[in-house]
Homo-oligomer: A and B are copies of this chain.
């Protein structure tokens, strides 16, 4: 990793004003703390301003309000949105430092002659692509992926190694799907019959929009009759479960270990915290934010932040409070009784 770049080259890509020597060599992007003179860093929030004076970073990306403070200490790039600038810098950096994915089909891959591959498609070693699958230009199917019959992958979408995209399921353009993801397994549907479960075959598919990212080992089940639908720009973290017939609106983001039960509808621009659970058949409006580990047990029609977590405490305190909680309803009755008594005394 002896790669380095001229600061001027970086500044040109990001736009904004460059203060300092464009010839300065940058070897690394890093946080303010621990930065070296060859590091480019960023100040995402005025709150961290105190770190600005102390950092050894060769260059700091700052907002206009921080321009003078940054210039006083060394090189800077002034941008309206330094955090966005940082994001774009990571993309620029990755494009220059990561080995490109070579187009072409690895000889060990098993590609059905009935699959349709666009231009510049890359198929990794030992991937399996079944008949009728359609893969857009510039898409990449990683090693060990399985793309089912009739499945569709949009242009420039990348499947990391070992992704399953089930038969008939589709993902749009510019998506990123991480390893271990299973798209299109059967939804969990059974009719109870005299103490056992009769399978309801899941006849729908999964339909995923453009610019969607799906984290490692996450599962999105196919719909029972209609499709499970993931909107444009949705970001799902790792180990998330999306049940059948779920609909997730555009640009909603969900953190790791979250679960959405069947037929729930989540609006656009929502966030769901890690480990949170949304029960089945519920509706969440747009711009609803669920805190980590909270359980949504009723539909939420109003934007806002919602929470429901037992506060952690030292174990002894928790035990006492939890025991009392199991009698909470009784405590309320006792308060009522005290109040009634109080009222009676007062009345005369």
CB distance from A205 to the nearest CB of B (A): 11
- Which one, A64-72, A87-95, A133-141, is touching chain B? A87-95
CB within 8 A of A307: which of B166, B199, B313?
B313
A202: chain B residues at CB < 8 Å are 90
CB within 8 A of A312: which of B87, B164, B201, B297?
B297
A81: chain B residues at CB < 8 Å are 191, 193
Known: A90-B200, A191-B87. A215 touches B219 (CB 8 A): yes
The quantity of this chain's copies bound in the complex is 3
How far is it, in angstroms, between the C-alpha of A13 and the C-alpha of B295 when the chains are bound? 42
Within 8 A of B (CB), among A69-114: 81, 83-84, 86-88, 90-91, 93-94, 97-99, 106, 108, 110
Residue A293 interfacial (CB < 8 Å): yes
Known: A312-B307, A312-B308. A84 touches B193 (CB 8 A): yes
- Which of A30, A277, A327 has its CB near the most chain B CB atoms (within 10 A)? A277
Does the CB pair B312–A294 fall under 8 Å? yes
A201: chain B residues at CB < 8 Å are 90-91, 93-94
Does the CB pair B215–A217 fall under 8 Å? no
Does the CB pair B226–A30 fall under 8 Å? yes
Known: A182-B217, A324-B332. A279 touches B269 (CB 8 A): no
Residue A6 interfacial (CB < 8 Å): no
Interface string of A299-338 (1 = CB under 8 A from B): 0000011111111111101111111111111011011001
Which residue of chain B has the shortest Cβ distance to A322 in the bound complex? B311
Does the CB pair A309–B297 fall under 8 Å? yes
CB distance from A251 to the nearest CB of B (A): 5
CB distance from A222 to the nearest CB of B (A): 10
Does the CB pair B315–A304 fall under 8 Å? yes
Does the CB pair A319–B307 fall under 8 Å? yes
CB distance from A153 to the nearest CB of B (A): 16
CB distance from A184 to the nearest CB of B (A): 9
Residue A58 interfacial (CB < 8 Å): no
CB distance from A156 to the nearest CB of B (A): 13
Known: A146-B161, A238-B221, A328-B325. A185 touches B243 (CB 8 A): no
A325: chain B residues at CB < 8 Å are 310-311, 321, 325, 328
How far is it, in angstroms, between the C-alpha of A341 and the C-alpha of B345 when the chains are bound? 12
The 10 closest A-B CB pairs, nearest first, are A308-B312, A185-B216, A94-B201, A90-B201, A87-B191, A305-B315, A307-B318, A182-B216, A320-B329, A241-B256
16 residue pairs A–B, Cβ–Cβ below 8 Å: A99-B149, A125-B128, A180-B217, A185-B215, A185-B216, A188-B235, A190-B253, A195-B269, A217-B239, A219-B239, A237-B241, A256-B261, A311-B326, A321-B328, A331-B331, A338-B342
